Amino acid sequence: MQITQLDLPTVTESYAPSWSPDGRRLVFTQANLVAQPLGRQAVFVANVDGGAMHRITPWALDATGADWSPDGTHLVKVIPVGLAEPANIGGKFSPDGKKIVFRHQINYANGDADSQAYTMNVDGSNVRQLSFGYGFVDAPNWGTRR
């Protein structure tokens, strides 16, 4: 069953889906390709039965890449203490729900962006860099949940 992009032609793009732990909902990012506000994206939640799709972040936040807590009651929001905003992307809860791994973009020289993997506690404290050097770390994750 198709859950997003039900009306054609589409004016948005949906990506970065993540199943809720109970398998009844999806969280995903929706980007406005030609709709207003143009070029912005937001996080949405939808029931997999095709009903109750709703936006959970404002367009102005330009949010992306949400993840469910292991118990399904929260969605990750990456706001680490001590790291510059807004380049904190793609947070994922640890299997026990106590930590978050995420990507932080650290260099914008000549339009290029280097990024590194970090972890933090769910309250944004205890930020630790996991990868070092030049390059682009994309989509860090903890592995499968059991």
Q: Name residue 145's beta-bridge partners.
A: none
The rounded distance, in Å, linking the Cα atoms of 29 and 94 is: 21
Q: Tens of pLDDT along 71-81?
A: 999 998 877 67
Instruction: Report pLDDT digits (tens) over 48-79.
Output: 887 778 999 888 887 777 899 999 999 988 77
**C-alpha closest to that of 100 among 81, 82, 73, 127:** 127
Closest listed residue to residue 56, CA positions, set 75, 37, 40, 43: 43
Q: What is the dihedral of CA 78, 84, 90, 94, to 10 degrees?
A: -50
Determine the pLDDT at residue 94: 93
What angle (nearest 5°) sits at the alpha carbon of residue 29, between those of residues 25 and 30? 110
Write out the H or E segment, with its range, that includes residue 112. none
Q: Which two tokens stand for residue 25?
A: 């909902």
Residue 32 is encoded by which pair of tokens?
């406005």
pLDDT at 36: 82
Q: What is the pLDDT of residues 16-42, one digit of tens each?
A: 888 999 999 999 988 888 878 888 888
pLDDT bracket for residue 110 (50, 70, 90):
low
Say which residue, 104 or 93, is predicted with more confidence.
93
Give the model's pLDDT for residue 133: 74
Q: In the chain, where are the structural domains located?
A: 12-61, 76-141
Tokens representing 88 are: 């904190």
Q: What does pTM read for this prediction? A: 0.75
State both tokens at 33.
């390709």
